[in-house]
Chain A
């Protein structure tokens, strides 16, 4: 069974550019999460979806960040415009239902210069 698939694995971009991170959750999972990991702030939940509907986006840092889930097998996290402080590892994760185990992708390592 394929796990959570994220792309790109690594991205280096210049400040001001648009960044789009992509995620394919595990088939059949109802929940999808976007987390950000930095040395300073640890793991932060940015947003999560249930059945493609955003449930809680209170962790999204500012309007430059947006996330969509157009169908059950695909989600994007977009940063526009990007800034150096957005440099982090962005994890996508999915879960089959409430109270169950959450499975993480391998992360997208973003560097904004």
Chain B
């Protein structure tokens, strides 16, 4: 079945550092890929998405490129801020399980940004 693997956290960075959070997936067919962010005490918010190979999703300085050849969707940001501290979830929908909208989540990666 479908699965998503994320790098273990927590990731601790200094403000203005470069961020990469790795995400790889297993799916057949053509899944859509997502990054969601969860701030402390809140629900999940969509950060960005990509629906086909080579698409780049971007939002708020974050970006991720759908790489079918490496089955990856790594999240990057050139200069992180303290306000980016949160848990980041990689997810996919569709793919093997079909099911249209069912989201399969990774385990989440906690990011801590310090001054």
Contacts and interface: CB of A to CB of B under 8 A. Distances in A.
Chains A and B are bound partners: yes
A99 B89 contact: no
B102 A48 contact: yes
Interface residues of B, number: 23
A70 interface: no
A99 B93 contact: yes
What is the interface of chain A mostly: helix, strand, loop, or mixed? strand
Contacts, number: 53
Interface in B37-93: 42-46, 49, 51, 89, 93
A100 B104 CA distance: 14
B105 A43 contact: yes
Given A56-B99, A99-B51, A42 B44 contact: no
A37 B94 CA distance: 21
A99 B103 contact: no
Among A33, A99, A103, A105, chain B packs the most CB atoms within 10 A around the CB of A99
Nearest to A59: B102
A2 interface: no
Interface of A: 31, 33, 42-43, 45, 48, 50, 55-56, 91, 93, 95, 97-107
Interface of B: 32, 34, 36, 42-46, 49, 51, 89, 93-94, 99-108
